[in-house]
Structure 1
Amino acid sequence: MSTEFLTSALLPVPHGFATRAGGCSEGPYASLNLGFSVGDERARVEENHRRLAQAAGAPLEALSRVSQVHGDRVVEARRGEGAQG
């Protein structure tokens, strides 16, 4: 199964959404697990990030990640900001 990367014509900025399909994680994480803090092997999560970047047609360093929470805070992604897992 290949990695899925979904976009919407309704958003006028570069964006995308991953599904859980196409990952290399196993056991309870058997999917495209992108979380470094859930107990999955780091090497598998890193490979899943590489697969996502490839599906998006972008270099790995071009991707941004956030942790979603419910609230009223808006985060603006800017080139060169943020940290990798």
Structure 2
Amino acid sequence: MSVKIRLSRHGAKKKPFYRIVVADGRYPRDGRFLETVGTYNPMVDPHEVTLNNDRIAHWMDNGAIPTDTVNSLLKQKGFYEVVKSA
């Protein structure tokens, strides 16, 4: 079972809103997931990202791999600097 940290799309047509979820890689994009660990709203300027750093760190310690998009969001929010200093 490969666990991934990825985006799950919600919201109306042409108005996306994403949840950052931890899911088995075999599940569909908007299907089952294990836990919600944040949100991403690209419709506001600047875009809004909320993260639960403790839970993301927990899942990454247990082998979860963030997708490229989630990885870039984590870097933008300074997640890796927070984890290094802790």
Q: Normalised by the shorter chain, which TM-score bucket? A: under 0.3
Scaled by the length of structure 1, the TM-score of the pair is 0.28
Which structure: greater strand fraction? 2
Larger Rg: 1
Which structure: greater helix fraction? 2
